[in-house]
């Protein structure tokens, strides 16, 4: 009887303890702050990414200031076309007036109001600097276009990097789901007495490895999203939208893509500017002529000096001997022109190589993607067959694991091949000057 009473008492105490534990757990859960889930970054489509990167990137904004600076230099060079007007006021006080025979030749206090207007009548070398300054504006605009292309390409590559990382996340997620399904099946077989602990551990090992891989790839995706956010000047990561569709450039002759490449356009502008400077070197041998008009008003006037006077002057200057500075200046300009021609030759050789390599790379990447997709489909079929055979006892657990690993690897290769093809198409458009 006492044992029965003791047993009932133990049950009651256990129930009370369990109630207390559950209550405390509920209170702790209510007091524990819920960790906020990271918000998904905003998604932008390809065209919007390129447009915003070009519009807001500080690198391009800094490059655009070179156009403003070149325009200021043009305005400065054009000042030679305008006269220079100045004026002076002079007041002189002597210890006493000067004069003779009762006349005053120099008053004791006298003020002079004078003006000067000077303008070059002939200044060929300075006039030539106006067109040379215009050439520098063209160079600055071309260089800005080249920087714009570089920013667009960087934004496009970052966009493709996000898509590539997202594909890897999808591949690894599917592999993890498959590993978990196999682990569940292996666990059920083990608990039912039909399987072994070894098979269960092998399946668990694959699932754990895929979980670690997924964490690493998700971090890589976040890194790529942050890089894209920096390029579009966003205060946070940015996710990529749909896959971009790159137009097939078709066949383009060399003259067409030469006229479209920003680097060749910039170098051609630099070369034309250098050629003009060399041609204008002959203007250093021309004389310069200046005109000057000087009106003056004196009050009070002296006996021999009228109150109002003016003077007009024409002066011409020609340098007969300068120690050879003009010849040296021309030679230096010719060397600069030779350097621009060498640079143009290097750019053209590099451009032809980029076009040839990009065209062949696109064809090669397309073939590799086709093969990778076939391999992925075949590996998926192998997983299906192997899993079905394992469930009926025709294969071992190791064969299923090997098939799943091979399927994951082939899916990864296919995703990498697809990203490589997109990058190759982008590089071809860049090489042909079709992507800016």
User: In a structure prediction context, what are the per-residue pLDDT tens digits for the chain, which is 436 residues long?
Assistant: 443 434 443 334 333 333 333 333 334 333 444 444 567 889 999 999 999 999 988 888 888 888 888 888 888 888 888 899 999 999 989 888 877 777 777 888 989 899 999 999 999 999 999 999 999 999 999 999 999 999 999 999 999 999 999 999 998 898 888 888 878 888 887 888 877 888 788 888 888 988 999 999 999 999 999 999 999 999 899 999 999 988 877 777 888 899 999 999 999 999 999 999 999 999 999 999 999 999 999 888 877 778 889 999 999 999 999 889 999 999 999 999 999 999 999 999 999 999 999 999 999 999 999 999 999 999 999 989 988 888 787 777 778 888 888 888 898 899 999 999 999 999 999 999 988 8
Does residue 135 sit within a domain?
A: yes
Q: How many CB atoms lie within 10 A of CB 204?
A: 16
What pLDDT score was predicted for residue 202?
83
Q: Is residue 207 part of a domain?
A: yes
User: For residue 3, is it within any domain?
Assistant: no
Looking at the structure of the chain, the number of domains it has is 1
Structure tokens at 355: 């076009």
- The confidence score (pLDDT) of residue 3 equals 39
Strand partners, 333: none
**pLDDT in the model for residue 355:** 94
Asked if residues 163 and 415 have their Cβ atoms less than 8 Å apart, the reply is no
CATH number of the domain within which 82 lies: 1.20.1600.10
Give the pLDDT confidence score for residue 12 in this predicted structure: 41
Domain interval for residue 77: 39-87+123-288+325-431
In a domain, 143, yes or no: yes
**Sign of the C-alpha dihedral, residues 334, 339, 342, 347?**
negative
Whether 205 maps to a domain, the answer reads yes
Domain-located, residue 219: yes
Please check whether residue 1 lies inside any domain of the structure: no
pTM of the entire structure?
Answer: 0.76
Phi, psi at residue 122, to the nearest 5°? -140, 110
Q: Are 89 and 113 in contact (CB under 8 A)?
A: yes
């Amino acid at each position: 009887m006492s044992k029965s009473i003791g047993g009932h008492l133990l049950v009651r105490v256990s129930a009370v303890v369990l109630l207390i534990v559950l209550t405390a757990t509920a209170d702790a859960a209510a007091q524990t702050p819920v960790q906020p889930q990271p918000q998904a970054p905003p998604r932008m489509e390809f065209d919007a990414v390129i447009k915003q990167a070009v519009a807001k990137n500080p690198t391009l904004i800094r490059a655009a200031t070179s156009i403003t600076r070149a325009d200021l230099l043009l305005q400065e060079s054009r000042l030679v076309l305008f006269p220079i007007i100045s004026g002076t006021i002079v007041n002189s006080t002597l210890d006493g007036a000067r004069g003779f025979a009762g006349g005053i030749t120099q008053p004791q206090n006298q003020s002079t109001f004078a003006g000067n207007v000077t303008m070059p009548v002939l200044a060929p070398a300075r006039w030539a600097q106006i067109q040379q300054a215009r050439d520098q504006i063209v160079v600055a605009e071309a260089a800005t276009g080249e920087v714009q292309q570089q920013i667009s390409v960087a934004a496009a590559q970052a966009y493709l990097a996000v898509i590539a990382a997202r594909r890897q996340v999808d591949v690894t997620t599917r592999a993890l789901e498959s590993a978990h399904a196999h682990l569940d099946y292996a666990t059920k077989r083990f608990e039912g007495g039909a399987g072994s602990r070894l098979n269960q551990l092998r399946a668990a090992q694959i699932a754990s490895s895929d979980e670690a891989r997924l964490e690493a790839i998700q971090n890589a995706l976040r890194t790529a999203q942050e890089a894209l956010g920096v390029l579009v000047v966003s205060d946070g990561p940015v996710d990529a939208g749909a896959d971009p569709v790159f137009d097939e450039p078709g066949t383009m002759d060399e003259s067409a893509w030469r006229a479209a490449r920003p680097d060749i356009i910039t170098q051609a502008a630099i070369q034309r500017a250098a050629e003009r400077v060399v041609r204008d070197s002959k203007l250093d041998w021309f004389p310069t002529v200046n005109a000057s008009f000087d009106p003056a008003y004196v009050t009070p006037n002296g006996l021999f000096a009228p109150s109002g006077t003016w003077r007009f002057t024409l002066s011409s200057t020609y340098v007969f001997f300068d120690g050879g500075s003009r010849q040296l200046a021309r030679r230096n300009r010719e060397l600069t022109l030779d350097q621009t021609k060498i640079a143009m030759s290097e750019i053209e050789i590099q451009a032809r190589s980029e076009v040839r390599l990009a065209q062949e790379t696109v064809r090669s990447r397309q073939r590799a993607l086709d093969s990778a997709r076939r391999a992925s489909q075949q590996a998926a079929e192998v997983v299906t067959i192997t899993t079905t055979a394992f469930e009926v006892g025709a294969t071992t657990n190791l064969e299923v694991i090997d098939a799943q690993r091979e399927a994951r690897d082939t899916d990864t290769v296919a995703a990498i091949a697809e990203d490589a093809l997109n990058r190759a198409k982008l590089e071809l458009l860049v090489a042909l000057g079709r992507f800016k």
